[in-house]
Amino acid sequence: MDPHYKRMGVVRVKVEEGRLVTIEDSLVSTYQELFDYIKAQERAVNEDYQLCSVSGEPLDLRAPVEPTPAGEVLSLKWKAFAVTIKDAEDLRTVKGSDHLVVGALKERFIQETGKSLGDLSYLGRRLEDGDMLMDSGVKEGALLVGKIRVSVVDDKCGLSTEVLATDFLTVKELKRLYSQTSRRTFNENASFFYKGQPLDNDQTLYALGIGDEARCLYENPAYTVFVLEEHHEAGSGKPFSVADHYTVGQLKQLYSTETRQALQAGDKLIFEMEQLDDDSMLYRCGLKQGCEVRLKLQDASKTIVYECGGERLLERGWISKHCRLRIRCQT
């Protein structure tokens, strides 16, 4: 017999879902070649897998291939490590590996929790779905962060709003998100405070140490709005310095004091075609710096009619420069 003759045999390898890959040992000379063959056949197999012997021990890929005994198979083992994903109140440990992309890791979380998952970050840096974990520096024991809950408190307006944010947002972006969540007008000049310190608009929440369940204070500075009577030309309004927590009634009182004109309950302020309720705070009305509000005076025909000595008078409680009333009493 030719001393170089090699008896034909087969190598069987169990891959994902228990399927078997069978190959004649004459087609590959080393376990490295066998592993490369399997990777070419199985798209899910990459360098994150180990080729192991029938006893489960990692094989030396440089060693020559030996046929597997009847009834026995080699196996592939996933070189996985544990990472933790925290998304608001949800905390889950999932398995990852060096070549696994972030999107696939998110899918594992979704399958295990049955909940959706948005953007993830690691050490304050946003992770793209196509990034591999090893390229993002994610290793065993890493904590990946999804949504964080930030309570934003406006003491003057008596508001406390929970905002779902991400830790890679800047303070300016958090302000905009807060405005959307609370339905307030966005003001870049508003201030956020955390642990008594004002926050820089350009800093990220992660850099400032703001994480899940953090509490920030919100302060909106005073601003100027303009009030003009209904039929006056735009741009001719009187300026008034106000704050978010002022009510529409207080703004009317400022106007009344400035113009020395008593206003009645039926006199209303109009903004963007909407009549404003006297008890509403200005922030709820969408007012901001430079807004123009029109004053609609109550129709004189709907005021109370009095009679004095047989003469009918319209009593509004004030006399405007456009009106001339003559009171004549008969005794």
Q: Selecting from 3.40.50.10490, 3.40.50.300, 2.40.50.100, 3.10.20.90, what CATH number does the domain 81-145 have?
A: 3.10.20.90
Per-residue pLDDT, 145: 98
Mean pLDDT on 254-273: 92
Per-residue pLDDT, 246: 96
Per-residue pLDDT, 237: 92
Q: Selecting from 3.40.1160.10, 3.10.20.90, 3.40.1440.60, 3.40.50.720, what CATH number does the domain 10-78 have?
A: 3.10.20.90
Q: What is the pLDDT of residues 210-228, one digit of tens each?
A: 999 999 999 999 999 999 9
The CATH code for residues 223-300 is: 3.10.20.90
Per-residue pLDDT, 26: 83
The per-residue pLDDT of the chain, averaged, comes to 87
Q: Is the pLDDT of residue 328 over 70?
A: no
Mean pLDDT on 187-205: 94
| Topology match between the domains 81-145 and 223-300 | yes
Q: What percent of the chain has pLDDT over 90?
A: 67
The CATH code for residues 150-219 is: 3.10.20.90
Q: What is the pLDDT of residues 61-108, one digit of tens each?
A: 999 999 888 889 999 999 999 999 999 999 999 999 999 999 999 999
Q: Compute CA distances 102 → 12, 56, 140, 238, 311, whole Å.
A: 32, 29, 14, 57, 85
Per-residue pLDDT, 16: 73
Least confident of 34-48, 234-248, 281-295: 34-48
Q: Is the pLDDT of residue 181 over 70?
A: yes
- Which residue has better confidence, 306 or 132? 132
Least confident of 172-176, 221-225, 292-296, 304-308: 304-308
Confidence class of residue 8 from pLDDT cuts 50, 70 and 90? Answer: low
Q: Is the pLDDT of residue 162 over 80?
A: yes
Q: Is the pLDDT of residue 300 over 90?
A: no
Q: What is the domain partition of the chain in residue ranges?
A: 10-78, 81-145, 150-219, 223-300
